[in-house]
Amino acid sequence: MPRNLTGLLIIRAWVEQGSSKPLRAHLRLTTDVADGFERELTLADVADVSAAVETWLLDVMDAGLLPDIDLTAVTPS
């Protein structure tokens, strides 16, 4: 019987005043909460944060956590 896996991504974001790139985002992520967090990242660019989230979602799909969906049809708000 297959395991029931649950992925988790936590983003803590803040602004560092006076920095040329003021965004800071700390990401903790896993494709299976039973295994604990697999990775932690701290990023300072919106595009990098978006790419990390997209990569994680693809990893979740590869792990069989989400139905097969077309992420290209999803537009960011």
- Does some domain include residue 41? yes
- Does some domain include residue 16? yes
pLDDT in tens, 7-35: 999 999 999 999 999 999 999 999 989 88
Domain ranges, residue 39: 8-68
- Does some domain include residue 36? yes
Burial class (CB in 10 A: 0-12, 13-18, 19+), 29: buried
- Does some domain include residue 58? yes
- How many domains would you assign to the chain? 1
Residues 6+ apart with CB under 8 A from 74: none
- Does some domain include residue 48? yes
Handedness of CA 72, 45, 63, 9 (dihedral sign): negative
Residues 6+ apart with CB under 8 A from 16: 22, 23, 24
pLDDT tops 90 at residue 73: no
pLDDT tops 60 at residue 2: no
- Does some domain include residue 47? yes
